[in-house]
Every structure is written in C-alpha cells, then in structure tokens.
Structure 1
Amino acid sequence: MTPSVRSRLWASGIAFVLGFAVANYGIIRVSRPDLWLWLGFAVILMLTSAAGILFADTRRSLSIWSLIGIELFAAFTLVPLLWTFTVATAPQGTSPRTVWPQEISWAAFDGALHSQILQDAAVTSVVVAGIATAVAMPLAIAAAYALVRLPVRARRLAYGLFVAALLVPLLALAGPITDQVIALDRYGSRMALVPPALVITLPLATWLCVTVLRDVPWSLRESVRADGATWLQSFLRFALPNVLPGVFVATALVFVAACNDFVLGAALATDDDSRPFPATLMLATGQLETSSSAVVAAGLLWLVPVVLLLLVFPRRITQLLGRSYR
C-alpha cells in the first residue's frame, strides 16, 4: 500500500515540528556534551521531514510515519542504554551528571564479573531456564504441529488460550504458586523454580512454534516422502533446512524470556543460593561486594546475549514476532 501525498506531508510537518522543538529545548536547557545528542536527534527529524516532502508524490511505498516511529523508538531505547552505560562506567564515588560519559572506569564491570552472589544467581537463571525450555519445547512442537497440520476440533480456541496465557500477569499467579511450593516443602529450592517457569516457557514456545510450522513448505515434505525417502533422508532434506532454523531461534527466545523472569524468582526464592539473576539485581543489591554501579554493569552484561541474538537472527526474529496464527 502506497501512502498518500497528504499523509506524507502531514508526517513531514510533524517531523519538522518535533525536530524544531527538540533543537530549541536542547539549545536553551541542555548543556554540553548532551547538547549534541539533542541537536543530532533534531537534525535526523528535520532530514526526515525533508525526505517526506521530496518523496511526497512518488509511488514508492515509503511511510514517513514509520520512519518517525523508528526514530522515536531508537531514541527512547538507546538514550536509556547510554545513561546505563554512563552510570556503570562512572569512577567509584562519583555520580554522573550528563548522559554522555565523561570519564570511563571499568571497575564496576570487574566487580560484577567477580561477585560470587551474581555468579551464583546467573547459574541459577541459566539452569532453571534451560530445564524449563528443554521441557517446554518438545511439548510446544507437538502442540503446534497439531494446531497447524491436524484437523483438531476447536484448535483456534486452543490457540487463543495459549495466547491468553501469555497475557496473564505473573503477579496474579505468584501467590498461588508460592502456596503450592510451600505445601510441597520445596520453598527456597533452586529446582522449585522450574515447574513455575513453564508458565512462561510453554505458552511462549507454543505461540512461536505455531508461527514456525505454519510457514514450513509442507508440500515439499509430501514430495520427499512420495519419492521413497527414508526417515533420515526426510530429516536431512526437509526438516533440517526448513524446520530446525526456526525452532532453534524460537528455543533461544524462550530461553531468554525464562532467564529474564523476575516475579517468580523473587516470590519463590528465599536466599542468594536459590534466587535467579534478575531478582538478585533487584532485591540483593545491598549485599554486593562492590558499589551499586556493579548492579548496573551486571545488567548490561546480562543484556549482551540478547543483543547478539538480535544481531545474528534479525530477520528470523522479525518473522516470528511479527506474525500471528491464521
């Protein structure tokens, strides 16, 4: 769908007004070096406005509104990350006063890497998330195959229930789950976090696997089987190139989501030995051997695998998260 000329002109006007407002606010209220961040963002918005005017009457499917949305999303994402990096790299005993880092010290990262509390918490998160993902993925693949390929009655309703489970707030489930764990006398155990973690991993894995299996060229499988291929040949020529890449990325996303759970970890863990990493950062910061900037540095280090996943599989992740079951 090609945007209309009026839509592009409206978007261009909005981009110019935003850029003008950002530039003036930066000049009046913001000091250097943060001033250059404001001016740089203002220039980008004004260039977007100029591009919208230049391409207003073309037939190219260029949406200026989408460009503005991407720019605003990038600004509201990268600026907090930059501030986090500035806090983490500030010299010990100092508080940063600008978003742009002035002096860089890596002591906080060294303290985070050598903190025994954070190391134990990271191990707990990886172990719990790994087990929960390993249990959820085979069940999710089987459920997704039934929803996509088999004439299951009320399969849309079943799929809707999986999606609804993703939207249930974990805070509403933390209390009942904690009561059950206490009744089983497993409260405070590291492995007690695994069954509740399935509340996160199983619905998410099913939702992602439905998307993966829906896009698979199943006619190719029928052709391979009609040619008399063995199970191994069918796996190598059909499943390996068409199914496994999507399943691998879905597994990585489920694992990351389980690793980043805070609610269940905080509700079911009583001490540092059983508390996962996100809950440790939020609840046990006063027990760290280093300053509180180590918490910020640890959060940035915990973010690295997610960034690498986004950089290595951007297209596959977009396909998984940008589509729904039909």
Structure 2
Amino acid sequence: MIVNKSEVIIGRVILVLVLILTLIPLANMFSAALQPADENPTGLTWPSDPQWGNFAQAFETGHVFQLMGSSLFIVAFVVPISLVIATLAGYALGNLRMKGGRFVFVFLLLGLTIPFEALIIPLYYQIQSLGLLNTQWAIILPLIGLYMPFSVIWMRAHFVGVPPELSEAARVDGATTLQEFMRIQLPLARPALSALAILLFLWTWNQFLLPVVLVADPLNRTVAGALTFFQGQYSSSIPLLNAGALLIIVPTIIVFVVFQRQFIQALLQGAVKG
C-alpha cells in the first residue's frame, strides 16, 4: 500500500499531539511535586527553589519500599501463572483445534464483556468464604481469573497464525505433542508472551479497585491500591501526594521503556499475520 506524503505528515502531527497530551499531566505532577510541602500548587510552573527532598520524604514516610515489595510479590504470582495457563489453553484452542474449542472461545469472549466492577461484590463474599480476605492471595487469585479471558484469546491469536506445516513436519519426524510445543511452538511464541507479560505486569501493578475492597492493610496492597494510604498520610500536602504518585508510576514507565521493542514486535507480528 502506497502512503502519500500528506498522510505521513498528518500521522506524525497526530502522534506528536498525543505525545504532548500524554506528557503534560506527568510534567504537571513533576512540577507540583517539587513545590514546598506546605504550598498548594496551581498550574504548570517550575518552582524557584525545587524541593527534591519531597521524593525522599514521600518514599520514607509513605512506606514505598514495603508497598513495592507487596506489589512485586503479587506480580510474581499473577504474571507467571497467567502466562503458563494462557499459553497452554491458547495452544489447545489455536493449534490442536480441540473438540468444543469454539464454545470455549465464545465463552471467553463473553468473559471480556463483563464489567470489572460488577464482579467485586461476588468476589468479596467468595474470598471471605475461602478465608483469604485481607491477604495478598485475595488479590492474586481473582486477578489470575479476571485476566484469563484476554490472555487466552491473545495466545490463541498467535497459535492460529502459526503455519500448520510446522506441526505436520514435526509429527512426520516423530515428535510428540509436548515435544512440538516445547521445541517449535514455544520459541515462536516469545514475542506474544513478552507482550502479554508486559501487559499483565502493568495491569497488576496499577490495579486499584480489588486491593482497596479486599485488603484492609494498605501495606499488603499493590502500590496503586495504596494511593488511599498516601492520601491519608499527605491529605494536606499536594506536593507530597504528587511525589508519592510519581514514585508509583516510575517502575511501570521503566518496564515499558526497557521492553518496548518486544511489545512492538508482538503487535507487528500479529498485524502481519492478520
């Protein structure tokens, strides 16, 4: 497809505008975080005397190290378990074409249509009946289930696009289903797995509603779910609130910047296959 020069220019202008609109809130938060703690900043203005110590104070007083440890504990279970289950299920639906696979696929699509908020009350009573309320497992187990429809559909889309000739050649050479999966399908799925891992990490790290409802102790929540804890600590200090929020955002930005190539590669791979 040939793209003329005007379309290229318009596309770049739109991307620049989107980038500016994305960075303005972060710049506003950053400038507000550097204001004196007892002031109420208004607008995007650079302070005459930047208070870099606000970040250290927010980190120490807001127990950011403990909160990040809690988030990493939750992520360490949610992401690997979700990847394993989604990869196996996606392979079964996309490559093995198992009996009843269409019904399962439609069932997963329906799962994507259910509003997240509609499940909070049933989840609360279910977690309470399991005796897991106010523990980190009250966040881990529901998130694995809630992410599963998207994760399985994502991996199925990859395996559907793998040429069936590869499987047929492996079977002719005497490979079992497990050997074919481990030696051929899994290496080809690395871009899709990497992109899915990034998405699951970002969604888990930024999860707010579940931790607030299911866990009473802020130090056992995700860092995003502990924003209410920050608000309680710094309810009268807007600069410290912004400093704490930026400390929470930084890890997600770092993860995306480091793994952006894998993420883009997976998206382009899916576009080419489509």
**TM score, norm. by length of structure 1:** 0.69
The match for 2:115 is 169
Q: Which amino acid is 1:86 matched to?
A: S
Residue pairs, 1:1-326, within 5 angstroms: 1-2=1-2, 55-56=5-6, 62-103=7-48, 104-115=50-61, 117-153=63-99, 155-216=101-162, 219-220=165-166, 223=169, 238=184, 241-287=187-233, 291-318=237-264, 320=266, 323=270
Q: Which amino acid is 1:318 matched to?
A: I
Q: Which amino acid is 1:134 matched to?
A: P
Give the Cα separation in 1 of the matches to 2:259 and 2:161.
17
Q: Deviations over 1:11-43 (max 9, x none)?
A: xxxxxxxxxxxxxxxxxxxxxxxxxxxxxxxxx
> 5+ unaligned residues in a row in structure 2: which ranges?
none
Change (3 A) 1:238 1:317: same
Change (3 A) 1:199 1:234: closer
Change (3 A) 1:253 1:180: same
**How far 1:153 sits from its partner (Å)?**
4.3
**How far 1:317 sits from its partner (Å)?**
1.9
Change (3 A) 1:207 1:315: farther
Change (3 A) 1:81 1:182: same
The RMSD of aligned alpha carbons is 3.5
**TM score, norm. by length of structure 2:** 0.80
Q: Which amino acid is 1:130 matched to?
A: A
Figure out how many residues of one structure are paired with residues of the other and give that number.
Answer: 271
Change (3 A) 1:206 1:229: closer
> 5+ unaligned residues in a row in structure 1: which ranges?
5-54, 57-61
**How far 1:79 sits from its partner (Å)?**
0.8
Q: Deviations over 1:109-153 (max 9, x none)?
A: 212322353333322222122212222221111110012112234
Give the Cα separation in 2 of the matches to 1:158 and 1:231.
21
The match for 1:36 is none
Q: Which amino acid is 2:73 matched to?
A: V
Give the Cα separation in 1 of the matches to 2:267 and 2:186.
22
**How far 1:258 sits from its partner (Å)?**
1.5
The answer to whether the 8 Å contact 2:40/2:239 transfers is no
Q: Which moved more, 1:265-274 or 1:141-150?
A: 265-274
Give the Cα separation in 1 of the matches to 2:143 and 2:220.
14
Give the Cα separation in 2 of the matches to 1:82 and 1:142.
42
Q: Deviations over 1:252-308 (max 9, x none)?
A: 321221121111111101122433211211355213599443332233233233323
**Structure 1 segments of 4+ aligned residues over 6 angstroms from their partners:** 228-237
Give the structure, 1 or 2, with the largest relative contact order (CA under 8 Å, sep 6 or more): 2
